[in-house]
């Protein structure tokens, strides 16, 4: 079905002044930031949603389907937090069940079969921790996605649009190129969870946020992400249409570069090298924290 297009020629925004990590966390969580439905409808010239994991259910917390920007077709996958109260409850605020990760993997394999690149939009505080999710294999579903994405023989572009929380984010975030919106966050644990573990005091979340190095600037400096996508002045929630246009521009640019790069075995090998290099300590290249 035809969707309203957004011009890819949105003007570049000047970088916002440096904020504290905790302030960035608040911006990343702002309910006014564009969500998956906004990107599917306004970033893409066409989007056809696909449903179900073909095993148990259709998890609304992860959506995906065939998409197009200009002449470039791809598989779009992402977390969905919902907009209304009812939607947010149904989507568990973007926290996916195993069914969601298995649906995402099914769509990625479909993209690989048809020679389409994958674009993944990450925005979740983490995987759903409910009893049913654990009973149906939450850990296995995420682990399977990590394994399969590492060997996917088609380019994968990841954009962290809001929160990138723990394994819930990483389950659809093993990409050849990882982009991050200026006010998004990406971390192994939430600041509140980290503070509760380290200090047994959730009020120390601001200190934990600084220690986690979860902002786009920190992660670009550490080599965890590849590029930062600018946001409109004040954040994406202030001007969602411009934010979506900037993401569209970045997706089109980086997809073009990925598709003109290595493919097949070499693509998989370079992806493996990219993730294997994270966490290696070289005293000569140490980054002051």
Q: Report the C-alpha gap between 21 and 25 in whole angstroms.
A: 6
- The pLDDT of 275-284, averaged and rounded, is 78
pLDDT value at residue 284: 67
192 CB contacts (<8 Å, ≥6 apart)? 202, 205, 208
Least confidently predicted of 18-22, 147-151, 245-249 = 18-22
C-beta of residue 289 within 8 angstroms of C-beta of residue 221: no
Domains in the chain: boundaries: 22-271
Least confidently predicted of 16-20, 107-111, 229-233 = 16-20
Write down the pTM of the prediction.
0.89
For the cut 50, the answer to whether the pLDDT of residue 13 exceeds it is no
C-beta of residue 164 within 8 angstroms of C-beta of residue 213: no
Instruction: Give CA separation, 60 vs 18, 101, 158, 205, in Å.
Output: 35, 11, 20, 30
Regarding beta strands 156-165 and 118-124, do their DSSP bridges make them parallel or antiparallel, or are they unpaired? parallel
pLDDT value at residue 270: 96
For the cut 50, the answer to whether the pLDDT of residue 247 exceeds it is yes
C-beta of residue 74 within 8 angstroms of C-beta of residue 118: yes
pLDDT value at residue 278: 86
For the cut 50, the answer to whether the pLDDT of residue 88 exceeds it is yes
- The pLDDT of 219-225, averaged and rounded, is 93
pLDDT value at residue 19: 84
pLDDT value at residue 17: 56
State what percent of residues in the chain have pLDDT above 90. 87
Quick: pLDDT tens for 124-173: 999 999 999 999 999 999 999 999 999 999 999 999 999 999 999 999 99
For the cut 90, the answer to whether the pLDDT of residue 282 exceeds it is no
75 or 276: which leads in pLDDT: 75
- The pLDDT of 42-62, averaged and rounded, is 95
> How many residues in the chain?
289
86 CB contacts (<8 Å, ≥6 apart)? none
Query: In CATH, what class is 22-271?
Result: alpha beta
C-beta of residue 74 within 8 angstroms of C-beta of residue 116: yes
Instruction: Give CA separation, 256 vs 82, 138, 246, 249, in Å.
Output: 30, 34, 16, 11
For the cut 90, the answer to whether the pLDDT of residue 281 exceeds it is no
Q: Which of 145, 47, 50 is nearest to 96 (CA)?
A: 145
C-beta of residue 198 within 8 angstroms of C-beta of residue 208: yes
For the cut 70, the answer to whether the pLDDT of residue 200 exceeds it is yes
For the cut 50, the answer to whether the pLDDT of residue 4 exceeds it is no
pLDDT value at residue 286: 57
C-beta of residue 110 within 8 angstroms of C-beta of residue 118: no
């Amino acid at each position: 079905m035809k969707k309203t297009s957004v011009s890819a020629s949105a003007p570049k925004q000047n970088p916002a002044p440096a904020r504290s990590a905790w302030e960035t966390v608040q911006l990343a969580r702002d309910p006014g930031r564009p969500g998956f439905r906004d990107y599917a409808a306004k970033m893409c010239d066409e989007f056809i949603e696909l449903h179900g994991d073909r095993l148990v259910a259709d998890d609304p917390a992860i959506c995906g389907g065939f998409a197009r920007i200009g002449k470039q077709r791809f598989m779009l996958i992402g977390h969905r937090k919902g907009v209304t109260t009812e939607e947010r409850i149904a989507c568990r605020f973007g926290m996916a069940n195993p069914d969601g990760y298995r649906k995402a993997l099914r769509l990625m394999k479909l993209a690989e079969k048809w020679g389409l690149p994958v674009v993944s939009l990450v925005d979740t505080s983490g995987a759903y921790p409910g009893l049913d999710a654990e009973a149906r294999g939450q850990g296995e579903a995420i682990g399977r996605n990590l394994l399969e994405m590492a060997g996917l023989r088609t380019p994968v572009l990841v954009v962290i649009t809001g929160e990138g929380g723990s394994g819930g984010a990483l389950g659809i975030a093993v990409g050849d190129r990882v982009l991050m919106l200026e006010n998004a966050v990406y971390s192994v644990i939430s600041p509140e969870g980290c503070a509760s573990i380290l200090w047994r005091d959730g009020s120390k979340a601001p200190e934990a946020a600084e220690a986690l190095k979860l902002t786009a600037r920190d992660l670009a400096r550490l080599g965890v992400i590849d590029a930062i996508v600018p946001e409109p002045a004040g954040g994406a929630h202030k001007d969602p249409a411009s934010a979506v246009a900037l993401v569209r521009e970045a997706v089109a640019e980086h997809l073009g570069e990925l598709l003109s790069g290595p493919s097949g075995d070499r693509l998989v090998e370079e992806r493996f090298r990219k993730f294997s290099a994270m966490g290696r300590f070289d005293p000569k290249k140490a980054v002051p924290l």
